[in-house]
């Protein structure tokens, strides 16, 4: 099995970017129908409704005809979205299911280590990752915080091996039913030629992961940027190292722009995000709020050459505690699509001025106090 810190750089992979959950959902349903051997799905949140139910129906049908179907969901993340022991229902339908981080009423530091990954693998040929969970707000079937903006990337080709390895790593670390990696990690000779390279990568808490991979990927992109760096994130609660890197990039002339939500999903966390505005803006970073609603996308786009689409928020939880994943890309055609989507999103977003970035005293005090307890939020 792959080492947790050695995800190969792979070519011969077609990458397709989805700028909205509805398009991702349609593509995912079509791809699931093509499964002939196995389906892996690992998600932080699953909730019964317009998004999950048609996926569930396909998984049941595929399991009934002998295709191996494996589903993982984070038990803490689904505590209020799924019935208790939902995995038993899936098992009765022939779907192998393993909750991650099973919730217990006993206070434990393990509850901090949530499985925040979003992965689908179909026959080792097709893979998906990105910010989109399997619940109705992600396809705007219901309205929670205005329009829900989220993104994903579809991979077809050699790079799917990394996503397969990440799922197997998760499953075998949680389940007593060991999956033999060699069965699912077979190479195919039918991959199409494609420009550029992709590195799907995983990240997780120490000591399981010896390297802070997600943070390193983000810092490398910030440090490498020469012309522009466009970032979308639902939360902006970074440590000094990332904040300083963003400020230095802007000061050396890089066009650094961030889009964050205008309508928050967590008001206390949004107050902490807003407390980060002023030092960045004073250094030349431009920050925008997505006025139609809530942006949940976690994207980096840099210099028309590099991009990341994944699950990693710019906050302490994602960068330190959670199990995360993403796809780093170089020279892929979809990077132009990601840039175009950012600029289109920018057009419906409101720029945060220095004046607006100022917090009242009654806002500053709780924001600074909450930063002390950031690891627990």
Residues 284 and 187 in one domain: no
For residues 13 and 356, give the distance between their C-alpha atoms in angstroms, rounded to a whole number: 44
The mean pLDDT value for 30-44 works out to 98
The mean pLDDT value for 335-343 works out to 98
Residues 174 and 300 in one domain: no
Residues 96 and 39 in one domain: yes
Instruction: Give bridge partners of residue 103 from the DSSP assignment.
Output: none
Residue 230 lies in a domain: yes
Residue 2 lies in a domain: no
Residue 3 lies in a domain: no
Whether the predicted pLDDT of 243 surpasses 80? yes
Which CATH number is 279's domain given?
A: 3.30.870.10
Residues 189 and 229 in one domain: no
Q: Render the burial of 243-261: b for 16+ CB within 10 Å, e for the rest.
A: bebbbebbeeebebbbbbb
Residues 224 and 149 in one domain: no
Residues 141 and 249 in one domain: no
Per-residue pLDDT at 2: 45
Query: Sorting pLDDT into bands at 50, 70 and 90, what band is 50?
Result: very high
Per-residue pLDDT at 110: 54
Whether the predicted pLDDT of 164 surpasses 90? yes
Per-residue pLDDT at 109: 54
Residue 7 lies in a domain: no
Mean pLDDT of the chain: 91
Residue 200: count other Cβ atoms within 10 Å of its Cβ.
27
Residue 5 lies in a domain: no
For residue 92, what are the domain limits?
13-196
Q: Which of these three, 196, 231, 263, is where a domain ends?
A: 196
Residues 245 and 164 in one domain: no
Residues 264 and 357 in one domain: yes
Spatial CB neighbours of 83, under 8 Å, sequence gap ≥ 6 = 89
Query: Sorting pLDDT into bands at 50, 70 and 90, what band is 353?
Result: very high
Q: What is the percent of the chain with per-residue pLDDT over 70, rounded to a whole number?
A: 90
Active-site amino acid positions: 116, 118, 123, 296, 298, 303
| This model's pTM is above 0.85 | yes
The mean pLDDT value for 136-156 works out to 97
Q: What is the percent of the chain with per-residue pLDDT over 90, rounded to a whole number?
A: 76
Per-residue pLDDT at 102: 76
Residues 223 and 181 in one domain: no
The mean pLDDT value for 289-317 works out to 97
Q: Which of these three, 151, 169, 196, is where a domain ends?
A: 196
Whether the predicted pLDDT of 363 surpasses 70? no
Residue 192 lies in a domain: yes
Per-residue pLDDT at 1: 39
CA proximity to 324, closest of 7, 29, 51: 7
Residue 22 lies in a domain: yes
| Helix or strand holding residue 336 (H, E) | helix 334-347
- pLDDT tens column, 105-124: 555 555 678 999 999 999 99
Whether the predicted pLDDT of 34 surpasses 90? yes
| Helix or strand holding residue 148 (H, E) | strand 147-149
Are the CB atoms for 28 and 54 separated by under 8 Å? no
CA proximity to 110, closest of 316, 321, 312, 318: 321
More confident residue, 246 or 369: 246
Residues 20 and 135 in one domain: yes
Whether the predicted pLDDT of 375 surpasses 80? no
Query: Sorting pLDDT into bands at 50, 70 and 90, what band is 365?
Result: low
User: Into how many domains does the chain fold?
Assistant: 2
Residue 4 lies in a domain: no
The mean pLDDT value for 230-252 works out to 96
Per-residue pLDDT at 5: 44
Per-residue pLDDT at 357: 80
Residues 266 and 331 in one domain: yes
Per-residue pLDDT at 24: 98
Whether the predicted pLDDT of 309 surpasses 60? yes
Per-residue pLDDT at 291: 97
Per-residue pLDDT at 165: 95
Query: Sorting pLDDT into bands at 50, 70 and 90, what band is 187?
Result: low
Residues 90 and 130 in one domain: yes
Q: Which of these three, 196, 230, 254, is where a domain ends?
A: 196
């Amino acid at each position: 099995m792959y080492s947790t810190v050695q995800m190969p750089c792979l070519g011969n992979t077609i990458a397709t970017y989805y700028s909205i959950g509805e398009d991702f959902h349609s593509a995912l349903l079509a791809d699931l129908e093509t499964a002939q051997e196995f389906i892996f799905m690992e998600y932080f949140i699953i909730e019964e409704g317009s998004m999950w139910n048609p996926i569930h129906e396909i998984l049941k049908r595929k399991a009934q005809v002998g295709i191996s179907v494996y589903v993982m969901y984070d038990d803490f993340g689904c505590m209020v979205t799924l019935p208790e022991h939902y995995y038993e229902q899936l098992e009765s339908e022939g779907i192998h299911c393993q909750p991650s981080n099973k919730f217990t009423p006993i206070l434990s530091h393990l509850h901090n280590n949530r499985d925040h990954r979003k992965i689908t693998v179909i026959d080792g040929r097709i893979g998906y990752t990105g910010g989109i969970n399997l619940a109705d707000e992600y396809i705007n079937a219901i309205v929670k915080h205005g329009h829900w903006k989220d993104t994903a990337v579809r991979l077809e080709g050699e790079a799917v091996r990394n996503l397969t390895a990440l799922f197997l790593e998760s499953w075998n670390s949680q389940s007593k039913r060991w999956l033999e990696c060699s069965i699912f990690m077979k190479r195919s000779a039918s991959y199409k030629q494609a420009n550029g390279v992709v590195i799907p990568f995983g990240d997780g808490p120490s000591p399981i992961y010896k390297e802070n991979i997600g943070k390193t990927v983000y810092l490398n992109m910030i440090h490498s940027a020469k012309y522009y760096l466009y970032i979308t994130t639902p939360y902006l609660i970074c440590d000094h190292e990332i904040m300083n890197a963003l400020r230095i990039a802007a000061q050396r002339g890089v066009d650094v722009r961030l889009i964050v939500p205008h309508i928050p999903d967590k008001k206390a966390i949004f107050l902490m995000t807003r407390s980060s505005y002023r030092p960045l803006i004073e250094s030349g970073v431009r920050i925008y709020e997505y006025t139609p609603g809530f942006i949940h996308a976690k994207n980096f786009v840099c210099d028309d050459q590099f991009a990341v689409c994944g699950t990693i928020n710019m906050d302490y939880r994602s960068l330190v505690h959670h199990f995360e994943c993403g796809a780093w890309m170089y020279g892929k055609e979809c990077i132009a699509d990601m840039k175009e989507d950012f600029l289109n999103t920018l057009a419906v977003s409101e720029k945060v001025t220095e004046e607006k970035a100022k917090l009242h005293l009654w806002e500053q005090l709780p924001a600074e106090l909450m930063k002390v307890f950031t690891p627990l939020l």
